[in-house]
Amino acid sequence: MDDKLNVRQLVDAHKGTVKPAIYIDQDIYDLELERVFGRSWLFLAHESQLPKAGDFFTTYMGEDPVIVTRQKDGSIAAFLNQCRHRGMKLCHADSGNTRAFTCPYHGWGFGLEGGLSVVPLEQEAYRNGLDKSKWGLVRVPRLTTYKGLIFGNWDETAPSLEDYLGDMAWYMDGFLDRREGGTEVVGGVHKWVIDCNWKFAAEQFCSDQYHAPYTHGSAIQVLAPTPENKSDGKPLGDGQTQRPAWANGLGGVQFSEKGHGSAFFFTEKPDANVWVGGEVSEYFRETYPEAERRLGSVRALRLAGHNTMFPTLSWLNGTQTLRVWHPKGPNQIEVWVFCIADKAAPDSVKEALKASHARAFGPAGFLEQDDSENWVEVQKVLRGYKAKQTGFCVQMGLGFEERRKDGIPGVTNYTFAETAARGFYQRWVDMMTSETWAEIEARTKEYQKELVHG
């Protein structure tokens, strides 16, 4: 154990308490960049964003800017977006197609495969003394794809993506594998900045169904598929069950493992949330038989609920929003939002989905704003002297964890619980205080074993 910042005293997953320092402390944040973001599998881009050789997409791994590119041989590579000469950001475009990357500062040129190929005034200035083979871009050493999503990891010793995901893959498949042909990103990437710690957003999508009935109460009220809300003939949620899923009496499940989390309510019919457009909910009803063949009924019926793959990739079924919470210091994040559609969906459905998605979860989305407001206001309170020292309660459903016998995998609880939040913070502590992956995995395993006795 190597707990130089005493973070084990700030998080107690067994009792369900956290101290606010984990959201504001600069030293803790700096260690997160190294120990969490420096060794986790991080989402980089969707394969559909890089169809051709030379296509690239720039993003971040933690605070490290990276370039993801499609190579001439069809493979994908990612590099630190930092010129090897004097550290200038190499590529300043969000995305595009190119044959080379040229540094805007002194003009060093790098090939798609990351090698340094051109140095201005090489003979006159370096007198041919520069060994260009030593100054290629720093490559992201681990890169892999999972059902269309591209992931990178800085840590050569990290477990495989499959091991890292564990049973989270089962939940992820329910989002990415409903139809033959997989998924694609529709439209561009919405990006915006809000002032809160990355863990508020990531943990809410991991574990917090509890906020929805109240935080989003006004949206639920005005968008209910009742006759009064149907005057324009194209109602949201057309043909759907009227009651919110948590009020239908069928129960639900929250999942937690290795820091990941997911939760949803069971439904009788393949009902997307009431806030997707009628055309979208109809699409989900029509394609249900295929989804059921591929995934079984539990996941095929699931068109709502929240998910976080530790640490910062989150998504929502049904509204099809996928997002990354890029950390920008302890008090800020850049939210990057992608709309994910089945590739096989008709164009009209993709358009309707894009509209539904932006309406609910774009930067001005009626649900997005509710959520952002909570996180930003919590962060503001933490500027206070007393507020910084006051612990938070993460005890919902504590002690009611179980392993289900119906095939729904992992450590589980009822949907309204904070089991996944406790698992998220336990994993965070395990990463923050362990030198090696063997230690991280052993500690996480021990914690999960205590919860469900095996």
Partner 1 sequence: MDKIFVCAVAELPPGEARRIETDPVIAVFNQDGEFYALADRCTHGEASMSDGYVEDDCTVECPIHSAKFCLKTGKALTQPATVDLATFKVEVEGDNVYVLAPAQVAA
Which positions are catalytic? 106, 208, 211, 216, 371
**What residues from 115 to 154 belong to the interface with partner 1 (CB under 8 A)?**
117-120, 122
Q: What is the CB neighbour count within 10 angstroms for residue 32?
A: 25
Q: Which does 345 bind (CB under 5 to 8 A by kind): Fe ion, partner 1, ligand FES, none?
A: none
100 binds partner 1 (CB under 8 A): yes
- 229-268 burial, b for 16+ CB within 10 Å, e for fewer? eeeeeebbbbebeeebbbebeeebbbbbbbbbbbbbbbbe
- Tell me which residue of 269, 280, 286, 268 sits closest to 237, measured CA to CA: 280
Give yes or no for a contact between 142 and 226, defined as CB atoms under 8 angstroms apart: no
E strands, 165-245, where? Answer: 183-194
Rounded CA separation 105/86 (Å):
9
Residue 322 CB contacts under 8 Å (≥ 6 apart), including other chains: 313, 314, 315, 337, 338, 339, 340
Give yes or no for a contact between 411 and 403, defined as CB atoms under 8 angstroms apart: yes
118 binds ligand FES (CB under 6 A): yes
- DSSP letter for 323, please: E
Candidates 67, 83, 172, 411; binder of ligand FES (CB under 6 A) is: 83
Q: Which is nearer to ligand FES, 31 or 103 (CB)?
A: 103
Give min distance, CB of 202 to ligand FES, in A. 34
Candidates 72, 105, 364, 381; binder of ligand FES (CB under 6 A) is: 105
Binding-residue total with Fe ion (CB under 5 A): 1
93 binds partner 1 (CB under 8 A): no
Q: Which is nearer to partner 1, 119 or 408 (CB)?
A: 119
Contact segment (CB under 6 A) with ligand FES among 72-80, 106-114, 131-139, 312-320 equals 106-114
Q: In the stretch 101-120, what mask flags binding to partner 1 with x, by CB under 8 A?
A: -x----x-x-------xxxx
Q: In the stretch 195-224, what mask flags binding to ligand FES with x, by CB under 6 A?
A: ------------------------------
Q: Which is nearer to partner 1, 108 or 154 (CB)?
A: 108
Give yes or no for a contact between 41 and 152, defined as CB atoms under 8 angstroms apart: yes
Candidates 371, 401, 418, 430; binder of Fe ion (CB under 5 A) is: 371
Binding-residue total with ligand FES (CB under 6 A): 10
Q: What is the CB neighbour count within 10 angstroms for residue 399?
A: 10
Give min distance, CB of 87 to ligand FES, in A. 6
Query: 149 in the Ramachandran plot: left (φ > 0), alpha (ψ -120 to 50) or beta?
Result: beta
State the first-to-last Cα distance of the chain, in angstroms, to the nearest integer: 23
- Tell me which residue of 305, 322, 261 sits closest to 44, measured CA to CA: 322
Q: Which two tokens stand for residue 84?
A: 């090897």
99 binds partner 1 (CB under 8 A): yes
Q: Which does 438 bind (CB under 5 to 8 A by kind): Fe ion, ligand FES, partner 1, none?
A: none
Q: Which is nearer to ligand FES, 57 or 108 (CB)?
A: 108
Give yes or no for a contact between 86 and 93, defined as CB atoms under 8 angstroms apart: no
Could you give the 3-state DSSP secondary structure of residue 26?
Answer: helix
Q: Which does 119 bind (CB under 5 to 8 A by kind): partner 1, Fe ion, ligand FES, none?
A: partner 1
Q: Which does 102 bind (CB under 5 to 8 A by kind): Fe ion, ligand FES, partner 1, none?
A: partner 1
Q: Which is nearer to partner 1, 72 or 269 (CB)?
A: 72
Residue 354 CB contacts under 8 Å (≥ 6 apart), including other chains: 186, 187, 339
**What residues from 39 to 78 belong to the interface with ligand FES (CB under 6 A)?**
none
| Interacting residue ranges for partner 1, rule: CB under 8 A | 98-100, 102, 107, 109, 117-120, 122
| Interacting residue ranges for ligand FES, rule: CB under 6 A | 83, 85-86, 88, 103, 105-108, 118
